Amino acid sequence: MYPFLFRTVLSRLDAEFAHHCGMIVIRVLGVRPFAWATRALTAPDPALRTRVLGLDFDSPFGVAAGFDKNVVGVRGLSALGFGHVEVGTVTAIPQDGNPKPRLFRLIPDRAVINRMGFNNRGAQAAASRLRRLRRSTRHRAVIGVNIGKSRVVDVADATADYVRSATALAPLADYLAVNVSSPNTPGLRGLQAVQTLRPLLQAVQDAAGATPLLVKIAPDLPDDEIAAIATMAVDLGLAGIIVTNTTISRAGLSTDPALVAAAGEGGLSGAPLKQRALEVLRQVRAVVPREFAVIAAGGVETAADVTERLDAGADLVQGYTAFLYRGPFWARQINRGLSRSLSGRGAARA
């Protein structure tokens, strides 16, 4: 049903408008009694429960940052079977993001180009919504909060800006992720340089207190820089690393080059990112200790993709872009595939 709906209706709508329409449905699914009914159809197999970052996850598969920027869809996403929801990217100062249009589908590649620019209502609004969620007993998913630099803040003042967000949000988050890897905020990726990133992460870590802190990196970094950041994160005592964010590469696309050029600048996500994201995951896992959490994202669409990431050393796996192409029961599809894989491995061992 969903492929027909996507092909005949959703693919003809502006991509950002279609996302907002989908979020309305997700928010409705988070309201009683819809949440109970949805959860009855989507609840992950108890065998998929995993413990990472000192937290219990119903499934290792969750939603990456960018899907729910303003903490409005957590209940619905949880009801749909996602084991965690990483909200944001949240900035200390509310901002509208980049001019529209800023989200483009590359349907032949099952990919998306976005240059959203951290559009969000700001850290205080996110904190207010998180407080309401924490007072409720209905939400089940682990909630991570992804924070980024406010656009109006100079790069030289980025540390104080991140600390402001961390101070407001860390007490309400299950974990905090520092985003220094989006290509859509001027100067942001330059913060990934180790000499710049180290003091920034130290300051945010101090502000985060006992909340587990992770850093999210880009797939476009050279291999030696990836290893250096991973090593530094371990040295600083961070809880983990998220690999990877979107890519600025346009290599190997099947979509008409004229359409790709018309979409313009921005981060590419989806299936074309799969191989590079997997390579980065393996590189990071090779240089960090086993107890250091690694969350894999980028090009994840099927249960086989999730299994491949877990086998490569990921503790958790996140997806986003394939949600557009797979529809609302995507997490259920993933979780059922993981459950079958787990059962098959058990039978093989027996």
Give the per-residue pLDDT at 313: 97
Whether 60 shows a pLDDT value over 90: the answer reads: yes
**pLDDT, average across residues 131-155:** 87
Give the per-residue pLDDT at 193: 84
Is residue 182 part of the annotated active site? The answer reads yes
Share of the chain above pLDDT 90, in %: 85
Whether 348 shows a pLDDT value over 70: the answer reads: no
Record: fold of 2-349: TIM Barrel (3.20.20)
Residue 235 assigned ligand-binding role: no
What is this structure's pTM?
0.94
User: Which one of the listed residues 78, 182, 249, 254 is annotated catalytic?
Assistant: 182
**pLDDT, average across residues 115-134:** 96
**pLDDT, average across residues 280-290:** 97
- Based on its alpha-carbon atoms, the radius of gyration of the chain, rounded to whole angstroms, reads 19
Residue 349: pLDDT band with limits 50, 70, 90:
very low
Residue 82 assigned ligand-binding role: no
Residue 22 assigned ligand-binding role: no
**pLDDT, average across residues 275-284:** 97
Residue 321 assigned ligand-binding role: yes
- Taking alpha carbons only, the member of 303, 305, 264, 331 closest to residue 106 is 264
Whether 344 shows a pLDDT value over 90: the answer reads: no
- Taking alpha carbons only, the member of 161, 226, 155, 233 closest to residue 191 is 155
* Chain mean pLDDT for the chain: 93
Whether 140 shows a pLDDT value over 80: the answer reads: no
Residue 75: pLDDT band with limits 50, 70, 90:
very high
Ordered by start, the domain boundaries in the chain are: 2-349
Is pLDDT larger for residue 66 or for residue 192? 66
- Taking alpha carbons only, the member of 169, 120, 109, 180 closest to residue 145 is 169
168 contacts 208 by C-beta, under 8 angstroms: no
